Amino acid sequence: MKSIASLKGKIHGKRVLVRVDYNVEIVNGRIVDKEKIIRTLATIKFLRSQGAVVLLMTHLGRPDGKRVKQFSTKQFISLLKKELSLLWLGDLNDKSPKVVSVLKPGQVGIFENLRFNPLEELNGSRLITQMKNVADVFVNDGFSVSHRKHASVYGIATKLPSFAGFALISELEAIAHTKRYMKCPSVAIIGGAKVSTKFKVIDSLCKRFDHVLIGGAMANTFYGALGYHMGASLVEKKFYKQSLSLLKKYAARIILPIDLVGRGEGKKWEALDIGPATQKLFTSYIAIADTLLWNGPLGKFEEKKFAKGTHVIAKALAQRSLGHAYGIVGGGETLTVVNKLKLSHSFDFVSTGGGALLEYLENPALPGLVVLR
């Protein structure tokens, strides 16, 4: 995989198309956490120093191929004025070559939200051709989207000379270190909403880690499969059979919550956080681990009353990682929690990737990486 460092002295005046992941939460006209964006600045700064015309492309939110004003990347022009002097390029289409032709070496532009175009997620050939026509070189600096076989991640890399950005390379080096120097006891903590997308990942983690602690709404499906009445809790009934199969296969490794906190009564009760007994249980595993991996919140942390479980575990992980275990955490929501609690410096590495991180641990042949190699 070629680094953009190899482009030194070769791209003055060239148009470089850079895939970044600026899929951030914006509340009341403010970006909640800029970490993903800050990680890309080294790549952008390098390209500018080499006299390249930098063309950024990203997705934002889930517009499902429709034009949604709140997900327009145009707002980044003002939101990122302290970090970047951005020029607005509008939609990436047949007219884009003319639009970018006026940009001068060292200038940085950003295209409209890629997912306003349904061809992005379909890896559509027309969109790929439109991308090819605006640039001379492609750079992937978005590890967190590299598990997607999308036009801006995979398709364009088959059409242009392609390189890995500095942020992407740092992610891969940190994960490689985790896999190469993993020490026992090893503990993985997995949270989030849906277990249906993570069966393979959990299976893979159970093969690598001594214990896999499961929280968040994912745990609800396991308990539903075991016959517990989960009320109005989020569960995926279609995946009960697979859940039971996984529990049976890794009975000694998978650790589920032993108490839950929620709201409502009877059939309307819903589980929204791990309880105090589970917090103590999970913390006891973390306290003796020499390798730690965390991905995904353990409850509905957006609501203050259901954020305690996630915060307690985050602090326990940080304490153990600081000077003891090798700790790596990842995922957009996880990143938000870590930065909010000011714990990022306690871990050996904080990855921007959630799904990408877990899938890479399962199988390094992610579409966006394979095509770069």
Residue 371 lies in a domain: no
Q: Do 189 and 282 share a domain, yes or no?
A: yes
Q: Do 19 and 144 share a domain, yes or no?
A: yes
Token pair of 11 as six digits:
């791209």
Residue identified by tokens 């214990």 is 211
Q: Do 159 and 194 share a domain, yes or no?
A: no
Question: What pLDDT is recorded for position 201?
Answer: 85
Q: Do 134 and 194 share a domain, yes or no?
A: no
Q: Do 142 and 228 share a domain, yes or no?
A: no
Q: Do 149 and 278 share a domain, yes or no?
A: no
Token pair of 229 as six digits:
């009445």
Q: How crowded is residue 60: how many other Cβ atoms within 10 Å of its Cβ? A: 23
Cα–Cα distance, 104 to 123 (Å, whole number)? 30
Give me the amino acid identity at 99.
V
CATH number, domain with residue 162: 3.40.50.1260
Say if residues 274 and 259 touch (Cβ distance below 8 Å). Answer: yes
Cα–Cα distance, 330 to 147 (Å, whole number)? 14
Query: Number of structural domains, the chain?
Result: 2
Cα–Cα distance, 197 to 344 (Å, whole number)? 27
Find residue 140's DSSP bridge partners. Answer: 19, 164
The rounded average pLDDT for each run of 10 residues, N- to C-terminus, in the chain (373 residues) is 94 97 90 90 97 97 90 95 93 96 96 96 96 97 94 96 95 82 88 84 89 94 93 92 94 95 91 96 95 91 92 94 85 84 87 82 87 88
Domain of residue 220 covers: 181-362
Q: Do 14 and 105 share a domain, yes or no?
A: yes
Cα–Cα distance, 292 to 226 (Å, whole number)? 28
Q: Do 138 and 27 share a domain, yes or no?
A: yes
Q: Do 160 and 210 share a domain, yes or no?
A: no
